[in-house]
Each structure stands twice: as C-alpha cells, then as structure tokens.
Structure 1
C-alpha cells in the first residue's frame, strides 16, 4: 500500500531513535542484535570489557554494518512513545497482542535468509528503499517460523516489490519471504508490526485457568482409584469444552493487557494543561465499553480503572478517532468547559491512559 505519508512514517522512528538504543547493555540484554547472513554476530566482536564493564566498539559496529550486517532492535514500542501509541492503536483494531521491532540495513545483504514467521506482519518502511520477495505458503496451517534450507532452491517469488518511505506491506503468517536493500550503496530502516493472533492452545489455557480450582484434585496414589478419577476428569473436560466462549476469552485478554503508556511524571503542560496543537492518543490496547454519560469502572492493565464522566467522554472520542489534538477535543465537546477538558486530559496522561505529543 502506497500511503503517501512518508513524513509521518519517518516521524515514528528517526535515525536518532535508532542510535539511542545502541549500547553494550542493550546487546547484552538481547534487545539489540547485529545479524549477518542469518546469523547473530557474537557479542565479543561488538564489545569489550573495560574496568569490569562492557563497552560498545563503535568503529567495529560501523564496519560490520557497512560490510553487510543489519541491526535488529526488538520491542521498540517499549522505548519510543510514537511506537507505543501505534502498537496500542493496532491492537485495538485487530484485538490481538502487537509488538514492534525495527530493522536497519546498509547493504544488499539481508539480515535473514528466506523464512516464514509464526505471526502476521505489517511492514512500515521508514527510510530508504527495500526490495521484498514473497514466495507464498508451502503448507497449510498450522505453521510457525522456519527458515528454508539455503541449499534448496526456493523457486521464483510469487510477488516482488520495492517499499519506499511511507509504504506498507502485509505478510501473512506462514508466507515465506526475504528482503534486501533496493539501492546499491543505500540503506533502509523499517518497522515490523507483529500481530500475535491467539490460537486454540491459548484459548484452552485460558479455559483451564478458569477451572483451575475445580481441577486441583490430584491423581490418586492408589491405582484402584484411577478409574473413578478418569471418569471425573472426562466430565471436567466435557465441561471445559461446553464453557468455551470467545466473547469472554477476548474480554479476559483485554483486561489482562497492560496499558501501552507510562505515568507522565513531571508533565510539562503549563498551569492550564495541554495547548491546542498537542496531539492526544489513547494508551488503551483494547476498546472498553464506555457509558454515554456518567462515571465508569473499566478492566485494563490487569486491574480496574475508575473514570469520571468527563474522562469517559474524552476517551470515547479518542478511541473513535485514534488520535486528536487538544483543540479537536475542545471543538468536539463544546458543552464542556475548555479548562476542565485540559485538566482532565493532563490527568489522564499522568495515569498513563493517554499519550501527549508536542508538535
């Protein structure tokens, strides 16, 4: 998909945001890795011990990247507010957990060989151009991530395309693919929005957790009691199946998902709250039922959150639009006092329920 939104996509993760994540500690923690030809570059080639602490070898990292290595930055939605807001927005629409990784490449050598992922992937091209080769599925579901044996010819791709900044590509779970920098001497930065749709095993694990207390009776030590225990367990399994309810499953998933944001300590919005051009985005990963009027208590972040009537009105507006400026909120709720609206938005930010972004 050609969105025509190159500048907006570039703002999701500037190169400065990539550089800020490059440290010896991030490499040690596994949140950043350097990949070449499908293999991870050893930590010892990228860092050295100085005074008992590892330090990043900047020159070595630069040389490796220019020699064909790629940077893999995991879970960037935990570190960049714009990506946290994006992950939350996608989750609300697909009702499945979402994570966002970033990949930076500097030559036509790819970080990974042809492979398939165990989840759906939405690719967002941030900078540079990248050529993608999609080979389709080789088997029917179920399937997980798997690399094709490089000694085998994967055959011609079913589709080949070049992504430019602002372009999107959807790669379904199970589709074999690979990518490379499109331009000689060029570079590329893209995001992968991984959509982890729950499977049957996850649904059954949820149902088992619901019945955990009733299933706690241990298997009898005396073999003579096994037949009775087996008959009882078969009854419990039938009840487990009869109690499957995807609405309740999704509600339980939604209640357990943490908020995408963090508490806004030291919120610098001035005494009167956010100004009209401040962008406000919801941090809720799922879309709760909000009353038209009056306060509410919603389940989110593994607990309950009390919302006043004004909070509900603001969040309902934001969830409907996915984002709005403070000025847009004031215009959309003309019956509310503007000062009270600004104060309420600032309070929501302090509780981690919305993101505030200055232009």
Structure 2
C-alpha cells in the first residue's frame, strides 16, 4: 500500500504528517485501483444482494446525513426486518447526487477484512474500513477532521482532496470537529497544505485532526478509508487510573464516610491525594489494556460445519493452524485470546508454546486430546480451510460512523 518501508513511515509520518503516494511512482507498478480488495461490482453486490441493514450504510448529501428511513424498508416475506437497505431508494438518492457510505467493510467484505486485520497487526492499533461512493462532481461531507488516523485508497474514478493542517492536534475520541466548527470553517478558507486529485491506486495518509474535504471529479469515485483507532498515552493514563481506583476500593480508610457538614472547600485533600498517588505508583493496567485491545477486533472466520467435520475426522496427520487474528498468549498455564481463556495442565504447555511459536502443527504433534480441545474451543482451525471471498454475516452492533 505504501511505497516506503514501515519503519521509515513510523519515523517520519506516523501521527504527525500527511503522506501522499502515487500508483504511477511505484517501483513495481501493477494494476491500479486495488481491485483485489474492492470494486464497483462489490458495491452493487453489497447493496443489492446481501440484505445489509442500516448500520452498515449511510447516505450523505450536501454535508448532511440522510435519516435511515430514507433508504430502508422491510424486505418482504420471511425478511420483514424494517431497516434493510432498499436498493431502489438508494439508486434514486445516488442518481440525485448523494454519497453512499458502506461502513464496517472489515466485517462484510472478506478481502477488506483480511487486509484490515493484517494492517492492524503491522500498526499495533485497531482498524476499521469504510467505502465512499460519490457521484460525479459531488461531495458527501464538508470540511472536517476525524478523531482517528486514516489511509485513503482510491479504487475507481478520481477525487479532489483539499487538506489543511489541524486546528486541534491529536483530538481524542470525545473531541469531534463539530466542537470546533467555527475554527474548522475559518481554517478551510486558508491556503491548503495539500490540494490534489487522487487517481486509482493512489494512497493518502492523514493523521487524526487534519482537516479535509473531497469532491468527485468527472466520474463516479470509489475509495476505501481505513480508520486507525489509535491508542494514546491518555488512554493508558485512563487505564492506570482505573487500576489505581480499583485498588482503593480495598482500602478501608478510602471507603469511610466523610464527617457531617462536609464542605469540599475546606476539606483537606492531601491524605486522599497521597493514597491515590501511592496506588498509581503500584498500578499495573497491562492485563486490562490487553483485554480492551482483544475486544477491539474479532478473530478470523470460523465455519461451524467445516470445524465440526475437522473435529469428527481428526487423525494424527491432520494439519491444523492457529485461528487468524486470535491475539493468543500464555499467562502462566492460562491461554488468553479473543475467544476466551483455557487452562492447561503442565504436560500440555510445551505443545501449546510450540503452537504459538509456529502457528501450525499436526494433531499428532499436539496429541489428539489437546488438538480436539483446541478445535472445539475455536482456537485451532483446519490448515486447509480458506475463508469465503465474501462474508455475509455482519455484526448486529452498530459500526463506527465517522466521515472521511
């Protein structure tokens, strides 16, 4: 995706500077547009055939987002859920200049899901993926900034991007651009830092806080936005504080009631502050941070029928692999991962460590009882299993909704 080494990107651009890379400048040029990830055909497939529900699509026009009821309806007998996409309504809005935003493609389109998962592993921060489909000479959103970093990957058509430096650097998740709408509007009138047209295969990186607006040119524009929901030092400070407060719950003095006639203006906070500082000094939020990180992504796909067949037909020479994106690690004799935890007796630990290091093994190398246990827990999958090219089972929860 980028044409510079990851280490150089991290040193020169990550979280600080915008970066534009051109498909035409690639040292090993190939087909432009990232069509192995996404395409116009994929848009039509998702919108017209997948039964997607409103959380997985937004419609925007002239800087405003349309209500879900403007493009959803029940889908008929046996599928009467009221918020399924209405492709006829979507077509009419699109023909009238509206931008379609397919959200959470890391859950609904397998090539994008695989790519997003790999990128998250490289960056160490969770990744979401949206697609923006804009009619010619239209723009979906006015100047704004995001509270996460983004990689913009132009798929089809072309789009002009006008980018300004931040009015508020490194915004947190609860510091959206709308809180500084006047500053954003004034900054948008100044000379831009970047004014460019993205063509298929081009990639634009923007750290959170950088202002941007984009307009399709003479044909339909499709681009992917990979949103990087970065961990911050503030987030770690929050985790430290939570760990310290948890420790103070076991302190009888801190649980004691304040005197009658309590007056915050005259109360001596020194002893309370001292206890809090002491608790912070011993706080270790690593386990909580790891739990939170694991909860920010899902493990790789698991087909129940293939899994059952592999379990029932298990033989010593069966090839097995660690489930992708599992984020598994041993804590003593406990294996923690995105599918929960398992405790192991001492004789099994060597085999589990080998599996974590190699990611693949035969059932005979692990021992049939251990291999079956790990298959049934969803930790292992058959090594020959290949996920379907598309994934038609999106989450029930609402995906993150952020303009780009």
Normalising by structure 2, we get a TM-score of 0.64
Distance 1:301 1:357, change over 3 A: closer
Post-superposition Cα deviations, 1:28-82, rounded to whole Å, max 9, x if no partner, equal 4x33110112211233432457888646543332122122211112222222333
Distance 1:102 1:209, change over 3 A: farther
- 2:7 corresponds in structure 1 to none
Post-superposition Cα deviations, 1:326-355, rounded to whole Å, max 9, x if no partner, equal xxx7xxxxxx769979x979x769816678
Contact 2:154–2:203 (CA under 8 A) maintained in structure 1 = yes
Instruction: Report how far residue 300 of structure 1 moved.
Output: 2.2
- 2:241 corresponds in structure 1 to 207
Classify the secondary structure of the residue corresponding to 2:304.
coil
Post-superposition Cα deviations, 1:2-22, rounded to whole Å, max 9, x if no partner, equal 465657932323445434543
Pick one of 267, 272, 282 that aligns with 2:324. 282
Classify the secondary structure of the residue corresponding to 2:137.
coil
Pick one of 57, 62, 66 that aligns with 1:41. 66
Contact 1:114–1:177 (CA under 8 A) maintained in structure 2 = yes
Instruction: Report how far residue 97 of structure 1 moved.
Output: 2.8
Instruction: Report how far residue 174 of structure 1 moved.
Output: 0.9
The alignment status of 1:159 with 2:186, answered yes or no, reads: no
Contact 2:159–2:215 (CA under 8 A) maintained in structure 1 = yes
Contact 2:328–2:336 (CA under 8 A) maintained in structure 1 = no
Distance 1:56 1:298, change over 3 A: closer
Q: For residues 56 and 256 of structure 1, what CA distance do their matches in structure 2 show?
A: 28
Q: For residues 218 and 110 of structure 1, what CA distance do their matches in structure 2 show?
A: 58
The alignment status of 1:172 with 2:207, answered yes or no, reads: yes
The alignment status of 1:104 with 2:139, answered yes or no, reads: no
- For the aligned residues, what is the CA RMSD? 4.5
Q: For residues 67 and 293 of structure 2, what CA distance do their matches in structure 1 show?
A: 39
Pick one of 88, 92, 100 that aligns with 1:63. 92
User: What is the number of residues matched between the two proteins?
Assistant: 331
Pick one of 323, 340, 348 that aligns with 1:303. 340
Instruction: Report how far residue 178 of structure 1 moved.
Output: 1.6
Contact 1:257–1:300 (CA under 8 A) maintained in structure 2 = no
Contact 1:76–1:101 (CA under 8 A) maintained in structure 2 = yes
Gap runs ≥5 in structure 2:
1-20, 316-320, 390-404
Q: For residues 137 and 59 of structure 1, what CA distance do their matches in structure 2 show?
A: 39
Gap runs ≥5 in structure 1:
274-278, 319-328, 330-335
Contact 1:85–1:282 (CA under 8 A) maintained in structure 2 = no
Contact 2:339–2:378 (CA under 8 A) maintained in structure 1 = no
Normalising by structure 1, we get a TM-score of 0.71
The alignment status of 1:266 with 2:297, answered yes or no, reads: no
